[in-house]
Copies of this chain bind each other. A is one copy, B any other.
């Protein structure tokens, strides 16, 4: 699985801590990590608004399979990512959240608080969440006897998101294009996106900003 980590300006200084935990867990489980957001306070500036845009581009183009995002409380990233079709982003503060979200909702993104509750032990908790988010089968239901009903609703949610939203490219073009330009301006994002993007139209659109 290809996993993108994306962090915004307010907690950019914590990127090395989070990346280390994610890479360590991903390595054990054979996943690949792309650090596509800010890697420190002086990096190309992104807000949670931009994270939503690059998450949509990466997931919809199948450049990556999963996105780990967050901000101070995680709520901004959560809502920004969920604003877009094709992104199904849960909120995660403990390892059981990560497991339950994988089994019940089978989504493709997580939003994590990187400031709220982030004290001693935070990097442990983050590691444990990644262990449970990225191990084993998904969509098994919880409790297991509710699997069918939960899978059905997860499928309907995808249809609802598709019905409620414009096609992604149309939605992106309806934005202030300066937002998109800033969102796609980071080198590590571009490298991940262009190396793995499987959607020619989205690739062309992103290229138009460079």
Interface, chain A (partner B; CB < 8 A): 10, 47-49, 52, 72-76, 78-80, 82-85, 88-91, 93-97, 99-101, 104-105, 107, 113, 115-122, 124-125, 128, 132, 142-143, 146, 153, 156-157, 159-161, 163-166, 171-172, 174-176, 179
Contact = CB atoms under 8 A, between A and B. Distances in A.
A48 B152 CA distance: 12
A144 to B, nearest CB: 12
Contacts of A113: 119-120
A105 B160 CA distance: 24
Nearest to A10: B146
Contact of A80 (B52, B84, B160): B160
Contacts of A100: 73, 75, 116, 120-121, 124
A90 to B, nearest CB: 5
B164 A171 contact: yes
Contacts of A163: 171-172, 174-175
A49 B160 CA distance: 8
B95 A76 contact: no
Given A76-B105, A104-B73, A119-B115, A93 B93 contact: yes
Given A48-B153, A120-B115, A75 B101 contact: yes
Given A160-B179, A164-B171, A104 B119 contact: no
A119 B121 contact: no
18 contacts: A48-B153, A52-B160, A75-B90, A75-B105, A76-B104, A82-B83, A83-B157, A83-B161, A93-B93, A99-B124, A100-B121, A113-B119, A116-B119, A118-B120, A121-B142, A159-B176, A160-B175, A163-B174
Contacts of A91: 74-75, 78, 91
Contact of A157 (B79, B96, B157): B79
